[in-house]
């Protein structure tokens, strides 16, 4: 065994987050690490990479007990992490970022030799066209992730840990990451791969470890377990139907929302589409296809957007959040921590903060009414009302996302709900709840439009799918006509293999 | 032409553009009298530069890692007093002791900030008051004179018309800082730490060490500034340069250092300080009062704040689209 962690235990205060967890990985093996949010995956990774001390247990590398007290220790032992939160300095160049924090770079160094090795690593992850002096902050999140993978390659790490590397990537970029991983496996690296996307476990991994509530509940070769088995190991129960059934009767034919010639400089080049009330329309496309930018523009969040946007025949001005809201547009951002909820406020404060006018009299807040409504809203989005005073930062990704949904319900008439990647970073169990919630909004008459790069989700959920490629609409198809093959071909403009 | 203008005002080039503009303006105000372009004027500009440069560099370094060292004025006074008192017999002993005080004082602040995870504003405000208080105790709250007048004369004697030993020491410190920032790993780590400290830590940068080192260096630079100043004046006063923080920070910001960290260069800081020196010298030449300098500095800072505003960029984009008729 290249890396072997045995009997790892960890407490945060009185809460036991890891209990006697063991995990090992051989050279030339990709091991998936699965579990719902809060299962303890991140903590285990932090311990292996020296970002957190363990309370008990030991880690051996090549059979030798290793002391890992800091990220620098881990790096010396050949352990490298590509975290979900990127570790790139946005103000530095690609070249500087690749060598940032590398213990082998001398204090005074010649940059040319470093540049050559950085170039080779970038080529290996499919970033052939990327200039070394490009400032990292100007790159999209997908390319930043690949720069991180390239950084690991230059560190000659033998044990690579990837924490949900594909959560924010498009399919083509994911293919690049997988290619890089397979190459690294062939060279004898050991890889621990954390993911919420079960398909990836079977596509790229050799074995899988499953954590639940801080304990190891499964350890198997991927050939010896199936998808259902994996899900029930993660949840500790059978997952009902992940996707709720579509509306039996098709929504009435009148388009609630129509978009003409929507354009955002460099991103969206004149797209047209319409969506019906009571139905769920998915905009599907890779990162860079313009799906997220298009929805942001409709919410008034892009200052340079142009085009015609009407709801129920009434024109909604672009480039103003206030007017979009007044017209009944509500938005759930892909950036939950930054734009979705207030991490430092409590559940109750989060739910009500957008609608305080409803509870004010003469400028003073009516606390009792607030409490009642907050409880109702929490119940409506399946958050336990007993937890109203819990701070949002302490919630799982899934529960945080439910709060974002709860904030939208403000007593206004059903309007237009626009969502970008609503299940990003949300585990399987909470996903099902979010999907049911989305369907409920539809049933109440909302016109829901959602951008997603997760094709499985699009297939399972959408009543209508609009595919985009490089800022233009490829196709608008009804649920019945949607195939995985067709979607993939649309959004990549290549014959899917 | 538009593109050229935009580049000239982009953060990296802006300090030099502003310096050029200020020189032209002062030259125009001066028109024909020839006062401004005399060697003596250039010499006095460099002497002012020698007074403020190191402190500005110190503040700039702390801004680079997204901290703010408020204690600079206190350390300049304290080190100046220590140097004069301890250097009465042997000036070199005074220099050594003063630099040691600067290093230890800065390191102590850095240690408190990194170990206890405290904000630098609060800690260095405490540092400012402590250093100032110590200076009052040491000097008995009065100006003390330094007997080595020949040293003061030597420090200030013109070299090659515009320079002096005093200003050359400061220039050497800037060159050293520029070399470290440009060519060493520490320089990259400082910028990375200021750009995103969490990410840099995750990447393996010893960000605590970097922040600690920056405060130690800041203390050392301020001490050096205090030594050079008090020896140059042949006196140490507890109130000397007590108002240095504002011009020092202004110099760094005009010099292209981002107040949110991670951007800026020593050469830019030098240019930023020179902008202030030229302004002051030019306004003096024009017979304007000292208050005018504050107002002029304020206007330059305001201009920079406006140039950096995302709101302005947004409005310009809108205006352009509007003109295109989109």
The span from the CA of A473 to the CA of A480, in Å, is 19
Residue pair B234/B151 in contact by the 8 Å Cβ criterion: yes
Residue A487 CA to residue A204 CA, distance in Å, equals 22
Give me the pLDDT at residue A487, please.
Answer: 83
Mean pLDDT of A22-42: 88
CA distance B86 to B70: 26
Instruction: List, for residues B165-192, the tens digit of each pLDDT value.
Output: 999 999 999 999 999 999 999 999 999 9
In sequence order, which ranges of A327-476 are alpha helices (DSSP H)? 347-352, 367-380, 397-408, 428-443, 455-461
Q: Which two tokens stand for residue A7?
A: 């009997």
* DSSP-assigned letter for residue A485: H
- Supply the pLDDT for residue A495: 46
Adjacent-strand bridge partners of A264: A268
Q: Is A303 on the interface with B (CB under 8 A)?
A: yes
Q: What pLDDT score does B326 carry?
A: 41
Q: Which CATH number fits domain A243-328+413-497: 3.55.50.30, 3.20.130.10, 3.90.1640.10, 3.40.50.300?
A: 3.40.50.300
Say yes or no for a CB contact (<8 Å) between A75 and B204: yes
CA angle B42, B48, B53 (to 5 degrees): 115
Tell whether A52 lies on the interface with B, counting CB pairs under 8 A: no
- Asked if the structure places residue B186 within a domain, the reply is yes
CB pairs under 8 A between A and B: 87
Other beta carbons within 10 angstroms of residue A366's beta carbon come to: 13
- Secondary element (H or E) of residue A46: helix A41-48
Q: Are A142 and A82 in contact (CB under 8 A)?
A: no
The CATH 3.40.50.300 domain(s) of chain A lie at 3-235, 243-328+413-497
Among A228-232, A426-430, B193-197, the range with the most confident prediction by mean pLDDT is B193-197
Give me the residues of B, 249-288, that contact A with CB < 8 A: 262-263
Residues of A in contact with B321 (CB under 8 A): 304, 306
Using the Cβ of A321 and the Cβ atoms of chain B, whether some distance falls under 8 Å is answered with no
The pLDDT of B308-320, averaged and rounded, is 63
Asked whether the predicted pLDDT for residue B35 surpasses 80, the reply is no
Q: How confident is the model at residue B3 (pLDDT cuts 50, 70, 90)?
A: low
pLDDT in tens, A195-216: 877 788 899 999 999 998 889 9
Q: What is the pLDDT of residue A497?
A: 38
Burial of B131 (0-12, 13-18, 19+ CB in 10 A): buried
* B317 to A102: CB separation less than 8 angstroms, yes or no: no
- Domain presence at residue B6: no
| pLDDT tens track for B107-123 | 999 999 999 989 999 99
Reported as type and span, the H/E element at residue A115 is helix A111-124
A-chain residues within 8 Å CB-CB of B314? 303
Average pLDDT of span A283-305: 88
Q: Using H for helix, E for strand and C for coil, what is the string for chain B?
A: CHHHHHHHHCCCCHHHHHHHHHHHHHHHHHCCCCCCCCHHHHHHHHHHHHHHHHHHHHHHHHHHCCCCCCCHHHHHHHHHHHHHHHCCCCHHHHHHHHHHHHHHHHHHHHHHHHHHCCCHHHHHHHHHHHHHHHHHHHHCCCCEECCCHHHHHHHHCCECCCECHHHHHHHHHHHHHHHHHHHEHHHHHHHHHHHCHHHHHHHCCCHHHHHHHHHHHHHHHHHHHHHHHHHHHCEECCCCCCCCHHHHHHHHHHCCCCCCCCCCCHHHHHHHHHHHHHHHHHHHHCCCCHHHHHHHHHHHHHHHHHHHCHHHHHHHHHHHHHHHCC
Rounded to an integer, what distance in angstroms lies between the CA atom of residue A22 and that of residue A216?
7
Say whether pLDDT at A496 is over 50. Answer: no
**Taking CA atoms, what residue in B is nearest to A88?**
B199
Q: A102 contacts in B (CB within 8 Å)?
A: 204
Q: How many CB atoms lie within 10 A of CB A121?
A: 20
Question: A3-235 maps to which CATH number?
Answer: 3.40.50.300
How crowded is the C-beta side of B253, counted as CA atoms within 13 Å? 22
DSSP A418: E
Cβ neighbours for A275, distance < 8 A, ≥ 6 positions apart:
A255, A256, A257, A258, A281, A416, A447, A448, A449, A464
Domain that holds residue B205: 39-317
First to last CA, chain A: 36
Query: What total number of domains does chain B contain?
Result: 1
CA dist A457 and A495 (Å) reads: 21
Residue B66 has which token pair? 């997204």
Look at B185 and A106 and tell me if their CB atoms are within 8 Å: yes
CA A67 to chain centre: 33
**Is A353 strand, coil or helix?**
coil
Average pLDDT across chain A, whole number: 86
Contact list in A for residue B195 (CB cut-off 8 A) is: 89-92
Which chain B positions have a beta carbon within 8 Å of A106's beta carbon?
185
Q: Model confidence at B322, in pLDDT bands (50, 70, 90)?
A: low
B13 in a structural domain = no
Number of residues that this document lists for chain B: 326
CB-count burial class (<10 Å; 0-12, 13-18, 19+) for B235 = middle
- Chain B: closest CA distance from residue A243 (Å): 36
Q: How far is B238 from chain A (nearest CA, A)?
A: 39
Rounded CA separation B105/B219 (Å): 6
- Residue B29, domain member (yes or no): no
- Which residue among B195, B198, B321 sits closest to A91, beta carbon to beta carbon? B195
Sequence-distant (6+) residues with CB within 8 A of A446 are A277, A278, A414, A415, A416, A417
pLDDT of residue B75: 96
**Confidence class of residue A468 from pLDDT cuts 50, 70 and 90?**
very high
Q: What percent of chain A has pLDDT over 90?
A: 31
Residues A201, A34: contact at Cβ < 8 Å? yes
CB distance from A372 to chain B under 8 Å? no
CA distance to partner chain B, nearest, from residue A86 (Å):
6
pLDDT at A32 over 60: yes
Q: Is B130 exposed, middle or buried (0-12, 13-18, 19+ CB in 10 A)?
A: middle
Q: What is the mean pLDDT of chain B?
A: 88
Joined tokens for residue B130? 């402590």
User: What's the mean pLDDT in A358-373?
Assistant: 86
Say what the alpha-carbon torsion angle B196, B197, B201, B207 is, to the nearest 10 degrees.
Answer: 130
- Residue B224 within any structural domain of the chain: yes
- Contact of B325 with chain A, judged by CB distance below 8 Å, is answered with no
B 198-217 near A (Cβ less than 8 A): 198-206
Mean pLDDT of A64-82: 87
Q: Which two tokens stand for residue A482?
A: 């949607």
pLDDT at A443 over 60: yes
What pLDDT does B268 receive? 95
CA distance B98 to B222: 10
The C-alpha of A100 sits at a distance from chain B's nearest C-alpha, in angstroms, of 6
From chain A, the residues in CB contact with B182 under 8 A are none
**What does the pLDDT look like over A235-256, one tens digit per residue?**
776 655 678 877 655 556 567 8
- Interface check A9 vs B, CB under 8 A: no
ipTM: 0.83
- The Cα–Cα gap between B106 and B71 comes to 9
Residues forming beta bridges with residue A135, ordered by sequence position: A93
Whether A166 shows a pLDDT value over 90: the answer reads no
Average pLDDT of span B3-12: 66
Indicate the angle between helix axes B165-183 and B149-156, nearest 10 degrees: 60
Kindly report the number of other CB atoms within 10 A of residue B326's CB atom. Answer: 11
Residue range B65-115, pLDDT digits in tens: 999 999 999 999 999 999 999 998 899 999 999 999 999 999 999 999 999
For chain A, say whether B314 makes contact (Cβ under 8 Å): yes
The pLDDT value recorded for residue B2 is 55
What's the pLDDT score for residue A134?
Answer: 92
Residue A60 in contact with partner chain B when CB distance is under 8 A = no
Is the Cα dihedral A448, A451, A457, A463 positive or negative? positive
CATH of the domain at B267: 1.10.3470
């Amino acid at each position: 065994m290249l890396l072997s962690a045995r009997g790892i235990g960890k407490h945060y205060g009185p809460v036991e987050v890891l209990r006697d967890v063991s995990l090992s990985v051989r050279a030339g093996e990709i091991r998936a690490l699965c579990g719902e949010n809060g299962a303890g995956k991140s903590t285990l990774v932090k311990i292996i990479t020296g970002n957190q001390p363990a309370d008990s247990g030991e880690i051996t590398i090549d059979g030798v007990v290793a002391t890992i007290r800091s990220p620098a220790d881990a790096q010396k032992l050949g352990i490298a992490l590509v975290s979900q939160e990127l570790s790139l300095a946005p103000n530095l160049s690609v070249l500087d970022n690749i060598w940032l924090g590398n213990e082998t770079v001398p204090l005074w160094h010649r940059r040319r030799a470093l540049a050559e090795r950085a170039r080779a690593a970038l080529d290996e992850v499919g970033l052939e066209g990327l200039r070394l002096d490009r400032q990292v902050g100007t790159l999209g999140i997908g390319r930043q992730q690949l720069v991180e993978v390239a950084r690991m390659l230059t560190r000659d790490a033998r044990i690579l840990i990837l924490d949900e590397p594909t959560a924010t990537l498009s399919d083509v970029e994911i293919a690049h990451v997988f290619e890089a991983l397979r190459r690294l496996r062939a060279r004898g690296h050991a890889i621990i791969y954390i993911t919420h996307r079960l398909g990836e476990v079977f596509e790229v991994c050799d074995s899988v470890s499953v954590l639940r509530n801080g304990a190891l509940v499964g350890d198997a070769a991927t050939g010896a377990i199936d998808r259902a088995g994996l899900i029930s190991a993660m949840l500790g129960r059978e997952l009902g139907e992940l996707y709720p059934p579509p509306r039996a009767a098709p929504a009435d034919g009148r388009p609630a929302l129509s978009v003409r010639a929507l354009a955002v400089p460099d991103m969206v080049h004149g797209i047209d589409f319409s969506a019906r009330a009571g139905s769920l329309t998915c905009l599907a496309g890779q990162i860079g296809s313009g799906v997220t930018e298009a929805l942001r523009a409709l919410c008034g969040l892009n200052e340079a957007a142009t085009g015609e946007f009407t709801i129920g025949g009434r024109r909604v001005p672009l480039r103003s959040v206030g007017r979009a809201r007044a017209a009944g547009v509500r938005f759930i951002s892909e950036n939950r921590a930054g734009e979705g909820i207030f991490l430092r406020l409590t559940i109750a404060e989060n739910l009500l903060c957008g609608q305080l006018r409803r509870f004010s009299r003469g400028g003073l807040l009516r606390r009792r009414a607030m409490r009642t409504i907050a409880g109702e809203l929490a119940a409506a989005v399946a958050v336990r009302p007993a937890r109203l005073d819990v701070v949002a930062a302490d919630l799982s990704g899934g529960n945080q996302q439910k709060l974002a949904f709860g904030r939208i319900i403000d007593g206004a008439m059903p309007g237009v709900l626009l969502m970008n990647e609503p299940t990003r970073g949300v585990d399987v169990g909470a996903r099902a709840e979010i999907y049911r919630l989305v369907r409920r909004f539809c049933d109440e008459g909302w016109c829901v439009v959602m951008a997603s790069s997760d094709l499985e989700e699009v297939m399972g959920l959408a009543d209508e799918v609009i595919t985009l490629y490089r800022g233009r609409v490829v196709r608008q198809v009804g649920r019945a006509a949607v195939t995985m093959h067709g979607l993939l071909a649309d959004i990549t403009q290549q014959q899917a293999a | 032409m538009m593109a050229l203008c935009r580049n000239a005002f982009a953060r990296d080039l802006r300090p030099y553009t502003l310096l050029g503009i200020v020189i032209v303006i002062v030259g125009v105000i001066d028109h024909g009298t020839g006062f401004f372009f005399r060697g003596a004027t250039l010499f006095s500009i460099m002497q002012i530069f020698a007074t403020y440069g190191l402190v500005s560099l110190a503040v700039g370094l702390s801004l680079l890692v997204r901290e703010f060292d408020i204690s600079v004025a206190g350390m300049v006074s304290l080190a100046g007093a220590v140097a004069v008192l301890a250097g009465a017999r042997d000036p070199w002993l005074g220099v050594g002791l003063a630099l040691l005080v600067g290093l230890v004082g800065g390191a102590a602040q850095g240690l408190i900030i990194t170990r206890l995870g405290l904000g630098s504003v609060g800690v260095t405000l405490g540092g400012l008051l402590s250093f100032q208080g110590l200076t009052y105790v040491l000097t008995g709250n009065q100006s003390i004179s330094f007997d080595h007048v020949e040293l003061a004369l030597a420090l200030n004697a013109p070299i090659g018309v515009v320079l002096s030993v005093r200003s050359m020491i400061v220039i050497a410190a800037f060159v050293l800082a520029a070399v470290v920032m440009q060519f060493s790993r520490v320089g990259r780590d400082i910028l990375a730490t200021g750009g995103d400290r969490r990410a840099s830590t995750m990447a393996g940068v010893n960000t605590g060490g970097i922040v600690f080192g920056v405060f130690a260096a800041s203390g050392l630079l301020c001490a050096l500034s205090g030594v050079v100043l008090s020896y140059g004046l042949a006196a140490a006063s507890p109130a000397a340069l007590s108002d240095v923080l504002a011009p020092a920070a202004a110099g760094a910001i005009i010099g292209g250092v981002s107040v949110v960290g991670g951007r800026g260069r020593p050469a830019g800081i030098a240019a930023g300080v020179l902008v202030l020196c030229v302004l002051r010298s030019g306004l003096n030449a024009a017979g304007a009062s000292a208050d005018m300098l504050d107002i002029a500095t304020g206007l330059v800072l305001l201009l920079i704040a406006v140039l950096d505003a995302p709101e302005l960029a947004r409005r310009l984009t809108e205006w352009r689209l509007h003109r295109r008729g989109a």
